[in-house]
Amino acid sequence: MNPIRINTTITLLLLSAATMAGSIVVQPGGQIKSIRQAIAIALPGDTIIVKPGIYREGNIIVDKTLVLLGESKPEIDGEYKTEVFTVAARHVTIAGFKIVNSGTSSMKDLAGIGALQADFLTIRKNEFINTFFGVHLSNSGFSVIEDNVFQAAVRNEYETGNGIHLWQCSQAIIRKNTIRGHRDGIYFEFVTQSVIEGNLSEHNLRYGLHFMFSHDDEYHNNIFRENGAGVAVMYTRNVKMTYNVFEKNWGNSVYGLLLKDISDSQVLNNRFIQNTIAIYMEGTSRTEFTGNLFSENGWAIKLQASCDANTFTGNNFKRNTFDFATNGTLVLNTINRNYWDKYQGYDLNRDGIGDVPHRPVNMYTMIVERIPTAVLLWRSFLVYLLDRAEKVFPAVTPENLKDDYPSMKPYDLNTTT
């Protein structure tokens, strides 16, 4: 998959169409006063230029190949009754609008812009204010959703849809958007070969980003901050997660990144800072964790016994309450050459690698896994005695959950591009 090639193809197609197209101007005091009227008289390939103003036209259906451009952000108001734009054609562009007040429904996924079987749709530089769903795409390929702002009123989960929602789509690009106040910031279900990059997803009720059954995707250079939980990747394979920031996702059992039943993926060069649980893993297999920073989290990694064949190499663990926790005694994963600020070993030959293994799971961590209320004893003298006794006579902690080659110095991680 090559996002640059996809973008180039879309641009060439739009330019080719533009050379043969006409333009129609919509303005409140002009000859054509409504967007719906302009669409009705437009020919495929035309550009509709919408002048500043407030347009209340109900559901606007775009059923032709058109470019809709707003000047100075004309406001398109759904009056809390209906979907604002519905796209039912290929090669449509909607750019430069303020789209507000879509309807809400428990039966229909009403959106600021909804689309079904609308390949090569471009949504760029719009503001979505108080929409149920911001953008909702189904069965569409080669879409670009770029440089938009989504701001929903913070309500209950059932009263708010997702900011950007894709279902059964492929080869989409979601880039440089800001999403706040929705249920999930970005939601993918049955979405393949797509890229999410450079987005800010914060203060959403459930997840900053949510994957379900979505394979061969990538997300890079995003910030997921202060959401109900950061990112959930579930029932998925071959996902590349790099250079993202997972920050301040706090709360009871809240995580920066949830990995559930995923395989053959990569988690590289990310920053996990001040999350209750930085990464929670369940049913995760053959996934690489390299070059990540875990700092000031409650738990850096919760590794369930159902995980196997994962590798943790070259990561930095700093100032976490617990670096590792697990609910099993048999660990079928590889943990080597990481930096641990809690490591108390030595390096007699000065090769930069500790001479004795580091065990990131201590006895108290295992007790807290079984009895969560025991966390109240944190920093007590009893906990200190338990951990010292476990180091001398290991009995509870998993024997093979250890780093045989711990780094004596933190790695200089390139966690930004």
Closest to 207 in 3D by CA, of 265, 128, 260, 261:
260
**What average pLDDT does the structure give for the chain?**
88
Strand, helix or coil for residue 26: strand
At residue 399, does pLDDT exceed 90? no
Q: Cα 282–288–293 angle (5° rounding)? A: 90
CB-based contacts of 16, cutoff 8 Å, min separation 6: none
pLDDT range class, residue 375, cuts 50, 70, 90:
low
pLDDT range class, residue 94, cuts 50, 70, 90:
very high
Say what the pLDDT of residue 387 is: 61
CB atoms within 10 A of CB 294: 28
- Cα 201 from Cα 207, distance rounded (Å): 9
219-270 pLDDT per residue, tens: 999 999 999 999 999 999 999 999 999 999 988 778 999 999 999 999 999 9
Q: Which residues are 229's β-sheet partners?
A: 207
CB neighbour burial string for 150-167, b if at least 16 within 10 angstroms, e if fewer: bbbeeeeeeebbbbbbbb
Say what the pLDDT of residue 11 is: 44
- Of 380 and 85, the structure prediction assigns the larger pLDDT to 85
pLDDT (average), residues 180-204: 97
At residue 378, does pLDDT exceed 80? no
At residue 4, does pLDDT exceed 50? no
- Cα 118 from Cα 244, distance rounded (Å): 30
pLDDT range class, residue 359, cuts 50, 70, 90:
confident
At residue 1, does pLDDT exceed 80? no
Q: What is the pTM of this model?
A: 0.87
Q: Which residue has the tokens 């209950």?
A: 156
pLDDT range class, residue 10, cuts 50, 70, 90:
very low
- Cα 81 from Cα 105, distance rounded (Å): 9
Say what the pLDDT of residue 154 is: 66
Say what the pLDDT of residue 6 is: 46
24-81 pLDDT per residue, tens: 999 998 899 999 999 999 999 999 999 999 999 999 999 999 999 999 999 999 999 9
